[in-house]
Structures are given as C-alpha cells and as structure tokens.
Amino acid sequence: MIGAEPLLAAGWVVVLVDIPGQGRSLVAEHLMRSVSLSRRQVLGSLASGTLLGLSGCGKAEPARPGALALAAVQSHAESINIYGSEAEFLKSFAAAPPRVGHLIAVFWCDAEVCNGGFDQFFLNSTGVLAPEAVLGFRAIGLPECADLVETAIGKFPPPYPRDRERRDRALNALRGSGPKGHEGNLFYDLEDLYYAARDRGKFDAVMDAYAQQLGT
C-alpha cells in the first residue's frame, strides 16, 4: 500500500472518489505520472479505497489548480471508451455531452504530452481522441494549444489513424525525421511550444472554469 510521503513530496492533496472501472484507471494514470509510482501500486491503493495523501496536518487546504477539472473528469470517466475499437470510441464520444467530451479529450491529451510528449500521446490508447482534443482546446479557450496539437496530427499521412496499431506503424515510419540530437523525436519543437502555450493560457484555471459549466 502506498504511504502519503511520495504524494506529499510532489505537493499533492488527493481526495479519491469511489468510481468503479475506468474511472479508477483514469485517476491511476494521472497519479502515476505525477508522482512516478508504478501502475500496480496506484491501482492497488485505489482498489482498497485508501486515501493516498493529506497535507496541512488535518487543516483544510485550498483546492489545487486543476482539481475541479480533475474531479469532473473522474465523474464522467466511464462515459467515453478510449480502450476499445475506433467504432466504440466514436459511438461513446458522440453519446457524451459536448462539454464532457471536450474536457476529457483535453485532459488526456495534456496529461500525455506533459508526461512523455506527443510521441507518448499518439502511442497510447489516448491517441484515439487526438482530433477531439483539437476541438476541445478550442472550446475551452486555448486556440494556440489546439493549433499545436493539430500540427502534430498533421505529421501523419491522412486520414488520421484512430487505430492504435496503425498509429504505431505510422510513427515508426516517421521516426528519424525529427531534429537531430533529440533521439528522432519529430515532435520536439512542437512540445516546447505546447508547454509554453499551456502556461501562457493558464491551463489549469481555464480547465477549472470550463468544468464549472458542466453543472449549468
């Protein structure tokens, strides 16, 4: 079981919401990337319902930027299937309220790119919703981020490969076309621009504001 120390060291205040299935998996992914814990460790503590971290010696703490958006994503995590086929994803995304879709698409794209760059985003199951992430960034008010994600998508031969294996093959074919000295990462320049754009756009505050609209 995970103690509070790794989370506290990372500055996290974590409150778990008991959501079965993919909701737990989604939260596990986010925590794992934020505190460098193994997937098995995080999933084990989520399954046990353990409160992973507290701060302030029991005193109430102000909500961290992005906490409202994360809670909203948790609440709707099972509504969109990013782990099945392209058809299953498209059906589930079309059935979700537009604001929910925007929030989840942007959340997943940002989490992946900030952890391992666009290469990781496209290699993982989350890459299925890359086109929706572009629309989501525009909807929440971050058009510069939308443009950069769209540029990254544009490196693939059209149409964009929703299927994970097809994306993997396409990326392998494209490797080596990136800037020299960056291990063939063809998205290297875009990633620096993306990180700067999300900071200028106050990503967490914008996501929290958009999440608030889900109840209106």
- pLDDT score of 94 more than 60: yes
pLDDT of residue 111: 94
Q: What is the pLDDT of residue 168?
A: 92
**pLDDT recorded at residue 1:** 32
Q: Which of 60-69, 189-198, 207-216 has the highest mean pLDDT?
A: 189-198
Model pTM above 0.75: no
Percent of the chain with pLDDT over 70: 66
3 state SS for the chain: CCCCHHHHHCCCCECCCCCCCHHHHHHHHHHHHHHCCCHHHHHHHHHHCCCCECCCCCCCCCCCCCHHHHHHHHHCHHHCCCCCCHHHHHHHHHHCCHHHHHHHHHHHHHHHHHHHHHHHHHHCHHHHHHHHHHHHHHHHCCHHHHHHHHHHHCCCCCCCCCCHHHHHHHHHHHCCCCCCCCCCCCCHHHHHHHHHHHHHCCHHHHHHHHHHHHHC
Q: Which residue has the higher pLDDT, 50 or 197?
A: 197
Q: What mean pLDDT is predicted for residues 183-210? A: 90
Task: Give the pLDDT score at 62.
Answer: 52
Work out the average pLDDT over 184-188.
Answer: 79
When pLDDT is cut at 50, 70 and 90, the band that residue 186 belongs to is confident
Residue 156 has pLDDT above 70, yes or no: yes
Output the average pLDDT for the chain: 75
- 123-155 per-position pLDDT tens digit: 999 999 999 999 999 999 999 999 999 999 999
* Residue 149: predicted pLDDT: 98
